Amino acid sequence: MTASEEARPVVTTGRGKVRGIREQPVPAPGEAAVPVAAFRGVPYAASPVGERRFAAPLPHPGRQGVRDAARPGPSAPQAASRLAAVMGPRTPDWDEDGCLNLNVWTPAAALAPEAPPRAVLVWFHGGGWSSGSGGWDWYDGARLAALGDIVVVTANYRLGPLGFLHLPAIGAANLGNQDQAAALRWVHDTVAAFGGDPGRITVGGQSAGACAALSLALDPATGDLVQRVIAQSGPWGLRPQDPADAAENTSAYLRILGLDPVGDPAALGRALRMLPAGHLVAAYGQLAARSARPGEVAPPMYPVLGGPGVPRTWQEAVAEGALGNKELLLGATEDEMTAFLAFAAVDRSRVGPLTGRVFGDGVREIAGLRAAQGTPAHVYRFTRRPVPDPHGLGATHCAELPFLFGTFDAYPEAPMLGTVAPEDHALARAFGSALAAFTATGSPNAPGLAPWPPWSRAASPKTKRF
């Protein structure tokens, strides 16, 4: 292999060739320097534009020549994140055309012809089903791939009205879930070309992404592609949306757009497909503003019960044994709900009970079900608090993300992070190494890490604190 080929490796997929870029993540103290090959903005499905808007994803048609995959692709159309005051602002980078793309980071050594295949983590971002992108530097997988010697994949999916409008008459039904399933199938079919093992796929994610990960593992249509699950800060107290509630929200949304909710479905579909994406996003923002109130986590549009990808509630599916023998690692932060309450004039005594109701109680419920089924889960609680912490955020929602990916520099204006101290690098190494080890082996226990026993139904369940 020439020096040029090493710097810009080319991988051949079933839909054409992609040229990535060799990177050297800066190792933290105590970490080895491991080169990584990054392939960003790789399309996994056809662009959802024109007649493809509000339609199920189709495989990308491919292209002639070599696609340059050095830079991220566009994010899905979206409104501003409601957690911008906690995580820091983002510059809009969305475009409906080309938004169904993913990013792959693989140890450079894994691309060698005789290299053993690496375990794979397919990770989905959060954002309340209405914002976020797998291509943002918050979720850059280079350092995690190097740290754990695994392949890391992050993927976009349609958001807000373009992903979760509930209007089955025109084909709009949990389209975001369908995108996630399409991304997983692409990884299963293609990751071997990037040095990954399609027989060792872990699906993971945070917040809405945690729901995506567990849904993919539970759904009979995709469960066979998944071996393990990592679910970070899933809002398990928020059950999938009732179809009647979803229909009511859809009607309100259509009225904001000036469309007749009870009109001819074909005409309604044509009208929705003709509107600029920005109009659809702006109308969603108006709908969300009407329902917003302190402590409310549920957006007006999110996965609907009984629709594609969500045949049952998460808890019901776990209780019925739908996970089978799949290993599960899940957890929450100590003060999840401060992200939704810190900048509102509310009684701060509500934080603890709401954190339990929306996040923590579900972790314990799911872990208890798995223990009773004889396949105990590993459970964590993330407790690191920012210094300084003028807003009293504590270990808030999303606080663990910079530590998983080691992307501290991507959060220059994030009150949830504060000042990064030397001990934070050690915490990031421990947290990232544990989740990477789980991806590779099904156990978060790895050399140099403190023991992490599985959760049990004993009087003192084993929860690992970070």
Cα–Cα distance for residue pair 154/40, rounded to 1 Å? 9
CA distances from 96 to 41, 53, 101, 360 (A): 13, 9, 11, 35
Question: What average pLDDT does the segment 441-463 reach?
Answer: 88
Per-residue pLDDT at 342 exceeds 90 = no
- Interacting residues of 1 by C-beta distance below 8 A, sequence separation 6+: none
Summarize the confidence of residues 411-421 as an average pLDDT: 96
Q: Residue 351: what pLDDT?
A: 84
Closest CA to 96 of 273, 289, 286, 266: 273
Asked if 287 and 256 touch (Cβ cutoff 8 Å), the reply is: yes
- pLDDT class of 30 with cuts at 50, 70, 90: confident
336 classed as catalytic: yes
| Least confident segment among 87-101, 398-412, 452-466 | 452-466
Does 133 qualify as catalytic in the annotation? no
User: What is the spatial order of strands in the sheet that 378-382 belongs to?
Assistant: 21-23, 36-43, 101-107, 151-155, 118-124, 196-206, 228-232, 327-333, 378-382, 463-465
State the Cα–Cα distance between residues 21 and 70, nearest whole angstrom: 6
Please state the φ and ψ torsions of residue 180, each to the nearest 5 degrees.
-60, -40
Least confident of 40-44, 221-225, 336-340: 336-340
359-382 confidence digits (pLDDT tens) = 999 999 999 999 999 999 999 999
Task: Specify the pLDDT at position 295.
Answer: 66
**Choosing from 60, 125, 166, 397, which is the catalytic residue?**
397
Q: Which of 322, 126, 325, 311 is nearest to 231 (CA)?
A: 126
Indicate if 207 belongs to the active site: yes
Of the listed 130, 131, 133, 207, which one is catalytic? 207
> 421-435: per-residue pLDDT in tens?
999 999 999 999 999
> Between these two residues, 297 and 128, which has the higher pLDDT value?
128
Q: Indicate the pTM of the whole model.
A: 0.96
Work out the average pLDDT over 169-185: 98
Count Cα atoms within 13 angstroms, Cβ side, for 87. Answer: 26
Per-residue pLDDT band at 31 (split at 50, 70, 90):
confident
CA distance 93 to 40: 15
Q: Which residue from 367, 363, 406, 429 is spatially nearest to 31, judged by alpha carbons?
A: 429
How far apart, in whole angstroms, are the C-alpha atoms of residue 161 and residue 171?
13
**Does residue 458 surpass a pLDDT of 80?**
no
% pLDDT > 70, the chain: 98
User: How far is the C-alpha of 254 from the C-alpha of 247, rounded, in Å?
Assistant: 10
Task: Identify the sign of the CA torsion 248, 251, 253, 256.
Answer: negative
Ranges of beta strands (E only) in 108-188 are 118-124, 151-155
Q: What is the pLDDT of residues 257-269, one digit of tens each?
A: 999 999 899 999 9
**Residue 43 and residue 30: Cα distance in Å, rounded?**
36
CA distance 425 to 31: 10
Instruction: Give residue 343's pLDDT.
Output: 78
Q: Which of 133-137, 157-161, 338-342, 413-417 has the lowest mean pLDDT?
A: 338-342
Q: Of 96, 327, 334, 336, which residue is the catalytic one?
A: 336
Confidence of residue 461 (pLDDT cuts 50, 70, 90): confident
Q: What is the pLDDT of residue 345?
A: 61
Q: At what angle do helices 243-256 and 277-291 cross, to 10 degrees?
A: 120
Q: Is residue 71 pLDDT above 90, yes or no?
A: yes
Q: What secondary structure letter does DSSP report for 295?
A: T
Measured CA to CA, the distance from residue 188 to residue 175 in angstroms comes to 20
* pLDDT of 294 strictly over 90: no
Q: What pLDDT, on a 0 to 100 scale, did the predictor assign at position 90?
A: 93
Provide the 8-state DSSP code for 358.
I
Phi/psi of residue 340, nearest 5 degrees: -100, -5
C-alpha torsion sign, points 436, 437, 438, 441: positive
Domain 3-465 has CATH 3.40.50.2020: no
Alpha helices by DSSP H, listed for 173-224, are 175-190, 208-218
Confidence of residue 346 (pLDDT cuts 50, 70, 90): low
Residue 459: per-residue pLDDT:
64
Query: What does the pLDDT average to over 309-328?
Result: 96
Element (H, E) at 202: strand 196-206
Quick: pLDDT tens for 195-253.
999 999 999 999 999 999 999 999 999 999 999 999 999 999 999 999 999 999 999 99
Number of helices (H) and strands (E) in the chain: give both, helices first. 15, 13
Q: What is the DSSP letter of 182?
A: H
Q: What is the mean pLDDT of residues 143-154?
A: 98
